[in-house]
Amino acid sequence: MGEPKTTKCLVVGAGPVGALAALYAARRGWDVEIYELRGDLRDASTTPLNFTKSINLALAERGVNAMRHSGSSDLLDRVVSESIPMYGRMIHGADSSGALTEESQQYDVHGRFNRAVDRANLNKLMLDKVDLLPNVKLHFNHKLVGADLRKRKAWFERKASPPQTADGAQAHQDQTDERSQEVEVDFDLMLGCDGAHSNVRYHLMKFVRMNYEQTYIDTLWCEFTIPPGSSASSKTPTAKDGFATSADHLHIWPADDGMFIAIPSVDKSFTCTLFAPSAIFATLEQDPAAVTDFFRTNFPGAADLIGHAELREQFEQNPHLPLISIKCSPHHYGSSGVILGDAAHAMVPFYGQGMNAGLEDVRVLFQHLDAHPATPAGRTAALDSYSTERVPDAHTINDLALANYWEMHSGVRSPLTLIRKRVEEFLNDKLPSTGFATQYARVSFSNQRYSEVVETVAKQGRILLGGLIGTVVLPLDAAILVLSGNGARQLDGATCAWFTPGDEVNGYYAALVVKDGSKDEAKVRYPLVTKTTC
């Protein structure tokens, strides 16, 4: 049976994922209605200041690719033109004499990069595109309060706009001014893009036997800002072009208990985030004067970039927020509802993939819809196959994001992690036929399914573990040593163990051992042992 009429698609939530989903749905010729809890974030007069103030995000290939296929010709061009390429991590610290250090770690052997984007700006650019489409209607200040996925009806609480004063300015909206009204809307398909605390997911659960798991990690985050170089009280040696430190990097101040990161913005400031255990936040909340000392001890140089008075002020004024990780399965019900983005898989931000994965959801969902007939039965099959494909991928990136917390605050300082990266990158660069690539490159610079990334990386580990590189391609490992600049010395026969086997760090185990080959050339072996557990 064909669709009786044009499919009516409700998109709940006009964040980045909802806005992109609306573009995809409109391109299919559907009648699209977007319902968003808050006011239009493009309208500064109706949007609370703390909402327009935005976090900076790392936009990676998956997010870019999803926009590339949105059918909106210049969306990606606009987003790219208002972004800053970040080619690697800059690790900040201090040496034994207390002198500040900066160490650049390139993300990728081929020079591929992530883009720093302003989340609110990205969202605005998408909404501007949505606004141009005749088959999309935007409803702001509408909160989803109920949904019957069987009867295909949804209920929204509409908040009245604040009354205007005579000169057109908004009057202060207090509790008594706030009138709301319930609106009932029919739909064929509801796309739940309403974030981590999704109401669509809550209502979906009443209709489908959904497995659901929610975890808060014992880490809070708080936002800070490093002003442009001209107004910063200090600069680092890599500062240039009006930035207080290098704009080509995502900056990390790793510490044993937490980390501080900074991402460049087009206005030459940096949006920064402190991640630390809740107990540390509690201690600093009781004694905010200690914030500067805490930064001085744990994140050398960062307080000087922000300014000491500003550091304390920002710690006190900006919210201290939790980090939630959500897994659920399935993501859909019949032909009438599916959840996307954080609604389906909110994750901790340590792989910089939350939004990227959400945008990828949209591309993958519409790929499944395109592969099935445009009928309710076809849509049921499409949502079913989408959930079957996407749930394991969502669970995988959720786990990788959690594991990457260690990588960001300890792994970036671990020689074992760095040597493993170097070897995998070498193989990828000089011997592409081996198909080797780092997990980071596969996650951030490819569109390979997350679950396949993990399988492939584990396979790489097994190959290395089995010594195949050393035995099957013996000349290759000699070449590794030569080309990495150490070969001549080792091939001379000097005994040299770069790392001791058995050095295990948080599930990663990497050892590159060079044995004395001077006595018997035939026995020269450079076993390369890598074990991954994630």
- Judged by the rule CB under 6 A, the positions of this chain that interact with ligand FAD are 12-18, 35-38, 55, 57-58, 143-144, 193-195, 199, 221, 273, 341-342, 349, 352-356, 358
Terminal CA-CA length for the chain: 45
How many CA within 13 A on the CB side of residue 454?
Answer: 15
Minimum Å gap between C-beta 160 and ligand FAD is 16
Output 160 or 309, the one with its CB closest to ligand FAD: 160
* DSSP conformation letters of 192-254: E---TT-HHHHHHTTTS--EEEEEEEEEEEEEEEEPPTTTSS---TT--TT-SS-TTEEEEEE
Output 342 or 393, the one with its CB closest to ligand FAD: 342
Minimum Å gap between C-beta 484 and ligand FAD is 31
Minimum Å gap between C-beta 221 and ligand FAD is 5
Minimum Å gap between C-beta 453 and ligand FAD is 16
How many CA within 13 A on the CB side of residue 296?
Answer: 10
Output 12 or 291, the one with its CB closest to ligand FAD: 12
Helix, strand, coil: what percent of the chain each, to 5?
A: 40, 25, 35
Output 19 or 291, the one with its CB closest to ligand FAD: 19
Minimum Å gap between C-beta 325 and ligand FAD is 11
Minimum Å gap between C-beta 10 and ligand FAD is 10
Output 36 or 425, the one with its CB closest to ligand FAD: 36
Minimum Å gap between C-beta 4 and ligand FAD is 27
Question: How many other C-beta atoms are found inside a 10 Å radius of the C-beta of residue 78?
Answer: 18
β-strands 8-12, 189-192: how paired?
parallel
Phi, psi (rounded to 5 degrees) for 262:
-140, 135
Minimum Å gap between C-beta 503 and ligand FAD is 31
Residue 354's nearest CA partner among 140, 191, 126, 119 is: 119
Output 225 or 353, the one with its CB closest to ligand FAD: 353
Minimum Å gap between C-beta 124 and ligand FAD is 12
Question: How many other C-beta atoms are found inside a 10 Å radius of the C-beta of residue 118?
Answer: 21
Output 12 or 136, the one with its CB closest to ligand FAD: 12
Residue 244's nearest CA partner among 258, 224, 229 is: 229
Minimum Å gap between C-beta 123 and ligand FAD is 8
Minimum Å gap between C-beta 59 and ligand FAD is 7
Q: What span, in angstroms and rounded, lies between the C-alpha atoms of 393 and 453?
A: 9
CA 484 to chain centre: 32
Output 86 or 480, the one with its CB closest to ligand FAD: 86
Bridge partners (DSSP) of residue 153 are 148, 186
Output 187 or 436, the one with its CB closest to ligand FAD: 187
User: For residues 527 and 470, is the Cβ–Cβ distance under 8 A?
Assistant: yes
Q: What span, in angstroms and rounded, lies between the C-alpha atoms of 227 and 272?
A: 11
Minimum Å gap between C-beta 223 and ligand FAD is 7
User: For residues 46 and 162, is the Cβ–Cβ distance under 8 A?
Assistant: yes
β-strands 270-277, 142-148: how paired?
unpaired
Output 15 or 254, the one with its CB closest to ligand FAD: 15
Q: What span, in angstroms and rounded, lies between the C-alpha atoms of 458 and 436?
A: 11
Phi, psi (rounded to 5 degrees) for 150:
-80, -45
Output 13 or 411, the one with its CB closest to ligand FAD: 13
Number of H helices, E strands in the chain: 19, 23
Task: Read off the tokens for 488.
Answer: 């001549």
User: For residues 516 and 495, is the Cβ–Cβ distance under 8 A?
Assistant: yes
Output 199 or 245, the one with its CB closest to ligand FAD: 199
Task: Read off the tokens for 360.
Answer: 């990828």
